Amino acid sequence: MRTTEILVIGGGPAGLSAAIEAATLGAQVTVVDSDLKLGGQLIKQTHKFFGSKDEYAGTRGYKIADILFEDLRKNADRIEILSDCTATGYYPEDGIVTCMIGEEKYFRMRPKKIVVATGAQERLIPFPGNDLPGVYGAGAVQTLMNVYGVTPGDRVLMVGAGNIGLIVSYQLLQAGVQVCGVVEFMPKVGGYWVHAAKIRRLGVPIYLQHTIVEALGERTVTGAIIENLAPDCTPGGKRTTIDCDIICMAVGLAPTCELLWQAGCAMKFIPQLCGHVALRDPFMRTSHPDIWIAGDAAGIEEASSAMVEGRIAGLGAAGACGYGTPEERKERFAHYSERLADLRAGEVGEKIRIGVSAASVQKWEE
Amino acid sequence: MTDNEKTFNSGILTGERPGAVLPPKELWESKKNGLVLIECPQRIPCNPCATSCPTGAVIPFEDINDTPRIDYSKCTGCALCVAKCPGLACFVADLTWGEKEALLKLPYEMLPLPAKGQTVACLNRCGEEVHRTQIVNVTQPWKDSTYVVSVAVPKELVSEVRAVKVV
Ligand SMILES: Cc1cc2nc3c(=O)[nH]c(=O)nc-3n(C[C@H](O)[C@H](O)[C@H](O)COP(=O)(O)OP(=O)(O)OC[C@H]3O[C@@H](n4cnc5c(N)ncnc54)[C@H](O)[C@@H]3O)c2cc1C
Ligand code: SF4
Ligand code: SF4
């Protein structure tokens, strides 16, 4: 049986920030991540991030990961990292987490506190042929291209014009793949207008008020049929066949929260946070006194806010282990809360503000 | 929804809007080295154009969601914002460059990287080829793989050409 003070599950921006924060306060931390390489989504983001200087705006995502790795190295004596290691279960009776390294090495771990930063899962939508080889999630396409250096195909149809659909389309163009079009259900792009403009000027059509109705092909994708929707979203409009060998779905993410369900955390369905999430107090502690959450697992947002939430969760978990003085914790907490509020200010943050407030409790009964 | 609005909603600028305005004509025509054209008409939490501008020509944002506002009297056409903006929404147009031609400084993040003197196709906002010309200059102001390519285009095309493609 392994032990650790704080187990961080997930080594994306949220988990790494939590680990760094807890370690700088003096806690002994173990990070497990199911990927071969740490960094979560960040290592696939070849585009420059939006936001402000504090959150590294104008810096490419994978460079932000490098900044986090550097901070990890500075605290290497207190942070143990296990990659290719999946937390497979949590047993509330005795507080044990089971983990698998690779496909066969199995071990059990009893941490004092846990930060769940497992990120998000991609959604798919149903249509005939969506199980054909060649229908991918946008995250999978990004991983293939930007982690493994493999182009997924020659001609892609992108489904969804949110930021992910738009950015991955741009990255596909950079990789020399033809993007035949982006299909969007709504009458306007959901992602930032400037991202749409970037691919439009490279000749990519964006089909607003359209949806995919069928993937064509016998053994692999050879095309797709898209359909124009009426303004009230009723189907039956004009159909167009698109010649493509890849269909890439960027229709949304949902928080990865299986471990939180297993742990019996109080959960709630919050549409603004894109699915079921655990209720949390201001320190990101769930109804389970030993479990904290951060990042997309706590509600789909951005890497910038994931990093700040990670800081807060790490601070909370380390504080619960007795690290840091109350003044020090109070000061750090005030600083992070303010940054989070700044990131969520304005119109774009409105949805998040509503969701977060619906998921928040002021204080758990002790 | 009008066709105009639908076109805009799909990422193509149609007319001036807050965050996407043209420089005053007289100043523009006389300003050596050019003036910035920013096309960022949506309130989003982003401000590197303002924080990277060395002269304060992009007026510092009060709220990070503000759309960019420009004090054209301060713009030097240096193109630092062109290379910094994560939305690739800043361009510089120098109308003093030639008799009939203006120099456009455009952001570029594609492969292959064109070289000085090479012929490229000029694309408009929907990716249609509207002109062919030579690359005048290629720089990489922040050494971060976003390049600024300068191309000469007929003056009447400065408000149309927004990208180049190696042919
Ligand atoms: C195409 C795209 C573009 C984006 N662009 C931006 C942008 O411009 N700006 C911005 O701020 N954000 C952007 N984001 C969002 C940002 O990437 C995410 O919000 C952020 O990565 C969330 O961080 P996280 O640490 O919560 O999750 P992730 O980065 O997803 O990390 C979670 C990690 O947990 C691991 N994991 C999951 N389950 C387990 C388990 N059971 N055991 C062990 N490990 C596990 C996963 O392997 C993963 O490494 C973008 C996202 C995408 C997909
Ligand atoms: S071109 Fe230079 S001076 Fe003009 S707005 Fe951009 S950064 Fe500022
Ligand atoms: S940096 Fe670019 S995308 Fe960001 S606000 Fe300025 S112009 Fe818009």
Contact A294, A18 (CB under 8 A): yes
**Ligand 2 atom nearest to CA at B52:** 7
* Cβ pair B42:A49 closer than 8 A: no
Between the alpha carbon of residue B102 and those of residues A275, B99, B133, B141, B151, the distances in Å are 52, 8, 12, 21, 8
Does ligand 2 have an atom closer than 6 angstroms to the CB of B50?
no
**Ligand 3 atom nearest to CA at B66:** 5
Å from CA of A194 to ligand 3 middle: 8
- In the DSSP assignment, the letter for residue A280 is B
Q: What is the pLDDT along chain A (366 residues), one digit of tens a residue?
A: 999 999 999 999 999 999 999 999 999 999 999 999 999 999 999 999 887 777 788 899 999 999 999 999 999 999 999 999 999 999 999 999 999 999 889 999 999 999 999 999 999 999 999 999 999 999 999 999 999 999 999 999 999 999 999 999 999 999 999 999 999 999 999 999 999 999 999 999 999 999 999 999 999 999 999 999 988 878 889 999 999 999 999 999 999 999 999 999 999 999 999 999 999 999 999 999 999 999 999 999 999 899 999 999 999 999 999 999 999 999 999 999 999 998 888 787 899 999 999 999 999 987
* Cβ pair A200:B126 closer than 8 A: yes
The number of C-beta contacts closer than 8 angstroms across A and B is: 126
> Which of B46, B124, B142 is most worth mutating to test chain A (most A CB atoms within 10 A of its CB)?
B46
Residues linked to residue B148 through DSSP beta bridges, in sequence order: B107, B139
Among A295, A266, A258, which residue's Cα sits nearest to residue A115?
A295
Residues 6+ apart with CB under 8 A from A165: A138, A158, A159, A182, A184, A191, A248, A250
Contact A136, A124 (CB under 8 A): no
CB atoms within 10 A of CB B112: 8
B-chain CB neighbours of A200 within 8 Å are 10-12, 125-127
Residues 6+ apart with CB under 8 A from A285: A291, A292, A313, A316, A320, A364
The Cβ-side half-sphere exposure at A102, using a 13 Å CA radius, reads: 2
Spatial distance between the Cα atoms of B100 and B77, rounded to a whole number of angstroms: 19
DSSP, collapsed to helix, strand or coil, labels residue A164 as helix
Q: Which of B42, B48, B145 sits opposite A193 (nearest CB)?
A: B42
Å from CA of A117 to ligand 1 middle: 9
Q: Which residue's entry shows tokens 């229908």?
A: A135
Task: Determine which helix (DSSP H) or strand (DSSP E) holds B84, and give its type and residue range.
Answer: helix B80-84
Residue of the CA atom closest to atom 3 of ligand 3: B87
- In the DSSP assignment, the letter for residue A210 is E
What pTM did the predictor assign?
0.93
Name residues contacting ligand 3 (CB within 6 A): A 194; B 38, 40, 46-49, 68, 85-87, 89-90
* Cβ pair B65:A345 closer than 8 A: yes
Q: Which residue's entry shows tokens 């493994």?
A: A148
